[in-house]
Amino acid sequence: MMTKIYRSQSDRLLTGLLGGIAEYFHINSQLLRIIFVVLSIIPGHLIGGLLLYVICLVIVPANPNVYGGGHTTYKQNRRNLTDVDEFNDKNDK
Protein backbone atom coordinates (compact mmCIF):
# COMPACT_ATOMS: atom_id res chain seq x y z
CA MET A 1 0.00 0.00 0.00
CA MET A 2 1.31 3.41 -0.94
CA THR A 3 1.63 5.94 1.86
CA LYS A 4 0.50 9.51 1.38
CA ILE A 5 1.92 12.76 2.61
CA TYR A 6 -0.23 14.40 5.27
CA ARG A 7 0.21 17.50 7.36
CA SER A 8 1.37 16.41 10.81
CA GLN A 9 -0.87 16.98 13.81
CA SER A 10 1.88 16.28 16.35
CA ASP A 11 5.01 17.79 14.77
CA ARG A 12 3.93 21.28 13.85
CA LEU A 13 5.05 24.85 14.33
CA LEU A 14 2.54 26.60 12.07
CA THR A 15 0.54 24.22 9.91
CA GLY A 16 2.33 20.88 10.21
CA LEU A 17 3.28 20.82 6.52
CA LEU A 18 7.04 20.47 6.98
CA GLY A 19 6.52 18.08 9.90
CA GLY A 20 4.37 15.87 7.68
CA ILE A 21 6.90 15.93 4.86
CA ALA A 22 9.65 15.03 7.35
CA GLU A 23 7.54 12.11 8.67
CA TYR A 24 6.97 10.86 5.12
CA PHE A 25 10.68 10.90 4.21
CA HIS A 26 11.80 9.80 7.73
CA ILE A 27 14.07 12.78 8.28
CA ASN A 28 14.47 15.28 11.10
CA SER A 29 11.77 17.96 10.86
CA GLN A 30 13.99 20.65 12.41
CA LEU A 31 16.61 20.02 9.73
CA LEU A 32 13.95 20.30 7.02
CA ARG A 33 12.70 23.58 8.50
CA ILE A 34 16.23 25.02 8.58
CA ILE A 35 16.83 23.98 4.96
CA PHE A 36 13.52 25.54 3.89
CA VAL A 37 14.28 28.84 5.64
CA VAL A 38 17.82 29.01 4.27
CA LEU A 39 16.65 28.29 0.72
CA SER A 40 13.82 30.82 1.08
CA ILE A 41 16.00 33.70 2.26
CA ILE A 42 18.43 33.46 -0.63
CA PRO A 43 18.01 36.79 -2.44
CA GLY A 44 15.14 36.62 -4.88
CA HIS A 45 13.67 33.35 -3.57
CA LEU A 46 11.58 34.51 -0.60
CA ILE A 47 8.40 35.00 -2.65
CA GLY A 48 8.93 31.68 -4.43
CA GLY A 49 9.48 29.86 -1.12
CA LEU A 50 6.34 31.34 0.41
CA LEU A 51 4.34 30.63 -2.75
CA LEU A 52 5.54 27.01 -2.79
CA TYR A 53 4.62 26.66 0.92
CA VAL A 54 1.10 27.99 0.33
CA ILE A 55 0.56 25.77 -2.72
CA CYS A 56 1.71 22.70 -0.77
CA LEU A 57 -0.48 23.75 2.15
CA VAL A 58 -3.52 23.75 -0.12
CA ILE A 59 -2.63 20.43 -1.78
CA VAL A 60 -1.47 18.36 1.23
CA PRO A 61 -4.39 17.33 3.47
CA ALA A 62 -4.36 17.05 7.26
CA ASN A 63 -3.78 13.56 8.64
CA PRO A 64 -7.21 11.88 8.94
CA ASN A 65 -5.84 9.10 11.19
CA VAL A 66 -5.20 11.40 14.14
CA TYR A 67 -7.88 12.82 16.45
CA GLY A 68 -8.67 16.33 15.28
CA GLY A 69 -7.12 15.78 11.85
CA GLY A 70 -10.33 14.99 10.02
CA HIS A 71 -14.05 15.42 10.46
CA THR A 72 -14.83 11.66 10.62
CA THR A 73 -11.99 10.64 12.94
CA TYR A 74 -13.93 11.01 16.19
CA LYS A 75 -16.67 8.64 15.08
CA GLN A 76 -14.20 6.12 13.70
CA ASN A 77 -12.31 5.90 17.00
CA ARG A 78 -15.39 5.93 19.19
CA ARG A 79 -16.41 2.77 21.05
CA ASN A 80 -19.99 1.88 21.89
CA LEU A 81 -20.53 0.49 25.38
CA THR A 82 -23.29 -2.02 26.11
CA ASP A 83 -24.59 -3.50 29.37
CA VAL A 84 -23.09 -0.74 31.53
CA ASP A 85 -24.37 -0.04 35.04
CA GLU A 86 -24.46 3.61 35.89
CA PHE A 87 -24.13 4.88 39.46
CA ASN A 88 -23.27 8.00 41.39
CA ASP A 89 -20.09 7.61 43.47
CA LYS A 90 -21.46 9.52 46.45
CA ASN A 91 -24.89 7.91 46.84
CA ASP A 92 -24.98 4.52 45.13
CA LYS A 93 -22.10 2.67 46.79
Decide: pTM greater than 0.75.
Answer: no
| Alpha helices (H) in 29-85, listed in sequence order | 29-41, 46-59, 73-77
Cβ within 8 Å of residue 93, ≥6 positions away: 87
pLDDT in tens, the chain (93 residues): 667 889 988 888 889 999 999 999 999 999 999 999 898 888 878 888 889 899 999 999 988 876 554 444 445 556 777 777 777 777 655
